[in-house]
Amino acid sequence: MNQNQVSDVLHRAHRLVVKVGSSLVTNEGRGLDEVAIGEWSRQLAALVRGGADGVPREVIMVSSGAIAEGMKRLGWTTRPKEIHELQAAAAVGQMGLAQMYETKLRENGIGSAQVLLTHADLADRERYLNARSTLLTLLGLGVVPVINENDTVVNDEIKFGDNDTLGALVANLVEADALVILTDQKGLYTADPRRDPAAQFVHEAQAGDPALEAMAGGAGSSIGKGGMITKILAAKRAAGSGASTVIAWGREPDVLLRLTQGESIGTLLVAQTAKTQARKQWMADHLQLRGAVVVDEGAAAKLRHEGKSLLPIGMTAVEGEFARGDVIAIRDASGIEIARGLTNYASAEARLLCRKPSPEFEQLLGYAAEPEMVHRDNLVLAGS
């Protein structure tokens, strides 16, 4: 991959997840860094409005710092080990963290939303889909979601472990084009440059390359929990849904704007699978389908030849029992699978909606929901 291709990865990215660590947000634990948060907020706002290239982008901020800010407000100089003390610090610090982002983004004319997640939210199908729908709605409204782990209610068994992992999972959740991890290092080195003067900078590598894990050191700060190894593993995880990752110094001037303009900054860990290919391959590889819907000739033709979504009005029957978010088969009248995809409705609801137009959904279900049974973005044709 040449330099132009490397730079183009971020330049072409429409949906970005930006993760910033505790040591940057809190200026190594001295309290929320108002200037730094103001700078990131200015850049986020510029990206939403169109940036230097005039192309509006959707951005999500995953921000550490609640526990570190809580420690500062409580007068603690050492990160506590007891889970209830960490939860108390998070509860205190989250107030200041959310207020700071709200103030700085509002100063730049952009709205913000606080979203607190736990591992359980993303492990449960219904909560996963609800979180995804909420985030995509916020992005569509031009709002910047500010996400943090809900440290106040989690325990060690259900923690993400670090916000690098959370950033990658959010990138998977919203199918982001890229994950940008802002840290206190310029990027990835072959060894820890704070200990090894011979360490060489890594400009670009393949996400998931085992050699990267071998060269990464441990956590480097007493304030946060992550280290370079968590960033490499996060990049590997993000690549699973087709998102490339950049690891860069968070205090680099206009780092987000320059990255999206195509400038090569930090370390780029390139996903080897395109975003749409990753999602569709995942659906195609499902060996156990929970159920199926049968469609008429008109619906089958629209799926096969026009790339349309599947609407309930084109469905003639529902087979099996499945939940919202399951991968189901779509079959024609002869029983041949023509496609498969993620269903927006459970089987019981789908049976009510067969042959019905979308204006009748609210009366049938008691609520207004998606007009599609399977959206075209979540559908893969058989044999493709």
270-309, pLDDT tens digit by residue?
998 777 676 776 777 766 788 999 999 999 999 999 999 9
Question: What is the chain's alpha carbon radius of gyration, rounded to the nearest angstrom?
Answer: 22
Q: Which ranges constitute the DSSP H helices of the chain?
A: 3-11, 22-25, 34-49, 66-74, 83-107, 119-123, 125-140, 163-174, 210-215, 228-239, 255-260, 275-284, 297-306, 347-353, 361-365
- CA–CA distance, 253 with 251 (Å, rounded to integer): 6
Tokens of 256: 């987000």
The helices-and-strands tally (H runs, E runs) of the chain is 15, 15
Residues 75/141, Cβ–Cβ less than 8 Å: no
Q: Is 78 helix (H, G, I), strand (E, B) or coil?
A: coil
Look at residue 280 in the predicted model and tell me its pLDDT: 73
Q: Which residue has the tokens 């060489």?
A: 200
Binding site annotation covers 344?
Answer: no
Residue numbers in the chain where pLDDT is lower than 70:
1-7, 155-161, 217-226, 276, 278, 281, 286-287, 384
**pTM for this model (two decimals):** 0.81
Binding site annotation covers 64?
Answer: yes
Binding site annotation covers 133?
Answer: no
Look at residue 260 in the predicted model and tell me its pLDDT: 94
Sequence-separated (6 or more) residues with CB below 8 Å from residue 289: 320, 326, 327, 328, 329, 340
Binding site annotation covers 19?
Answer: yes
Residues 220/227, Cβ–Cβ less than 8 Å: yes
- CA–CA distance, 255 with 187 (Å, rounded to integer): 12
Residues 319/293, Cβ–Cβ less than 8 Å: yes
Tokens of 249: 């110094």
Q: Is 346 helix (H, G, I), strand (E, B) or coil?
A: coil
- CA–CA distance, 279 with 274 (Å, rounded to integer): 9
Residues 270/207, Cβ–Cβ less than 8 Å: yes
- CA–CA distance, 130 with 58 (Å, rounded to integer): 19
| Cα–Cα nearest to 32, from 135, 167, 146, 173 | 146
Tokens of 384: 């493709």
Look at residue 214 in the predicted model and tell me its pLDDT: 79
Binding site annotation covers 326?
Answer: no
Residues 260/292, Cβ–Cβ less than 8 Å: no
Residues 301/364, Cβ–Cβ less than 8 Å: no
- CA–CA distance, 228 with 102 (Å, rounded to integer): 29
Binding site annotation covers 384?
Answer: no
- CA–CA distance, 345 with 286 (Å, rounded to integer): 18
